[in-house]
């Protein structure tokens, strides 16, 4: 028998599964409908050690690998994808600090992040710079030992709720002259726009960040000026594994609901699962989930092995989110009229799936990333 997980990984995953079933699934629909950010549930994730899952123990984390993180995030996202997204972005912040921060920055920021006392967010997107990351206009002008930020960021996950933002800024006239700054909530000159009204994903607040002569100490610069885009693209590789994992968890939730309904719903004197039309839909859904899960864990294992994984992360994000869109749509179809009603969660799953095709780079961008790696001869990793 092939063992996909170690005993420790299985134990951690099962802990996440129990948490999702007891805490997230019963509350998700109501919280999402009311667009409530459940900080208390995030703090419960922290109590389980999940908010610092991949941070070294010296900084207060659990020191676990990407595969373990993916196993946890899948279960959290199956329970409530909005909480999965909050956790995924939070982990991105920690990983970016680990890869680019100096020892003082790691010591200062990572402990509170790992303990869940501080919630992290990433700020890249602007009104004129979505997929075109090089067109950002938010500036960071040097003033003595400090930097003064001006500009705005939009569609920021956990915007207004997060306590620490890693912000991509221009440091010169060229779009290539960029840097990443750690900006703490409450810093004078940092303002938040209204909470965006979205078609789904209501439990994850999305707001604009506005910087008006926002003075940031020089010690909050991550890495060196000029490295900003490179650092953020590296962070996005890991973030795409996170989005792929969220898509797998969401797909599993939709499939579970559709399967249970098909077994119980009777038409023409028998359960609808006995009809070939429904059987084939469910078979395709199960196959899609299995394939998306394999792509996602493959990318995670490559990351843990220390080999390039940009292409594989893009493949996982592309396939898993497209699969989630199809599976959630099919789940609505299997439930028929009930699928369109808010008494069942599948209509919410369908609205949430659309978001996954857009965030961390649209799926059109993922195809571009993959094609460029094929063009430049990047080796395929099959082992």
Buried b / exposed e along 110-141 (16+ C-beta atoms within 10 A): bbbbbbbebbbbbbbbbeebbeebeebebbbe
Render 195-234 in DSSP notation, one character per residue: EPP-SS-TTS-EEEEEEEEEEEEGGGEES-TT-HHHHHHH
Give the H or E element holding residue 91: helix 81-100
The three-state (H, E, C) secondary structure of 92-151, written as one string: HHHHHHHHHCCHHHHHHHHHHHHCCCCCEEEECCECCECCCHHHCCCEEEEECCEEEEEE
Strand segments (E) across the chain: 120-123, 139-143, 146-157, 164-170, 178-184, 190-195, 206-217, 221-222, 266-267, 270-271
Q: How far apart (Å, rounded) are the C-alpha atoms in residues 10 and 88?
A: 20
Q: How far apart (Å, rounded) are the C-alpha atoms in residues 328 and 326?
A: 6
**Active-site residue list:** 360
Angle subtended by helix axes 66-79 and 276-305, to nearest 10: 150
Q: How far apart (Å, rounded) are the C-alpha atoms in residues 329 and 326?
A: 5
Nearest residue to 45 via CA among 103, 8, 88 = 88
Q: How far is CA 201 from the centre of its chain?
A: 12
What's the chain's Rg over C-alpha atoms?
21
């Amino acid at each position: 028998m092939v063992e996909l997980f170690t005993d420790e990984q299985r134990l951690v995953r099962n802990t996440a599964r129990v948490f999702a079933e007891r805490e997230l699934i019963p509350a998700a629909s109501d919280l999402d409908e009311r667009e409530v950010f459940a900080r208390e549930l995030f703090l419960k994730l922290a109590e389980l050690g999940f908010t610092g899952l991949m941070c070294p123990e010296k900084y207060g984390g659990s020191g676990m690998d990407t595969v373990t993180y993916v196993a946890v995030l899948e279960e959290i996202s199956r329970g409530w994808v909005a909480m999965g997204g909050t956790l995924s972005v939070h982990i991105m912040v920690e990983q970016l600090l680990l890869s680019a921060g100096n020892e003082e920055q790691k010591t200062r920021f990572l402990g509170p992040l790992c303990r869940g006392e501080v919630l992290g967010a990433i700020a890249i997107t602007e009104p004129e710079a979505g997929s075109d990351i090089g067109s950002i206009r938010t500036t960071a002008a040097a003033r003595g030992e400090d930097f003064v930020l001006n500009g705005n960021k939009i569609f920021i996950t956990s915007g207004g709720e997060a306590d620490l933002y890693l912000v991509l800024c221009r440091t010169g006239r060229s779009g290539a002259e960029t840097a990443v700054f750690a900006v703490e909530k409450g810093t004078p000159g940092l303002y938040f726009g209204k909470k965006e009204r979205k078609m789904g994903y209501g439990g994850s607040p999305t707001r604009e960040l506005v910087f008006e002569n926002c003075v940031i100490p020089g010690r909050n610069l991550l890495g060196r000026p000029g490295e900003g885009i490179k650092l953020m693209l590296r962070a996005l590789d890991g973030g795409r594994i996170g989005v792929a994992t969220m898509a797998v968890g969401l797909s599993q939730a939709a499939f579970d609901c559709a399967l249970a309904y098909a077994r119980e719903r009777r038409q023409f004197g028998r359960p609808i699962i006995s009809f070939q039309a429904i059987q084939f839909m469910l078979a395709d859904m199960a196959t899609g989930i299995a394939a998306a899960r394999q792509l996602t864990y493959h990318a995670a294992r490559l990351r843990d092995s220390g080999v390039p994984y940009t292409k594989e992360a893009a493949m996982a994000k592309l396939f898993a989110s497209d699969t989630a869109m199809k599976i959630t749509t099919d789940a609505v179809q299997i439930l028929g009229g009930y699928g369109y009603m808010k008494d069942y969660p599948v209509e919410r799953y369908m609205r949430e799936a659309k978001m996954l095709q857009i965030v961390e780079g649209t799926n059109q961008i993922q195809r571009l990333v993959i094609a460029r790696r094929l063009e430049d001869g990047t080796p395929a990793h099959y082992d």
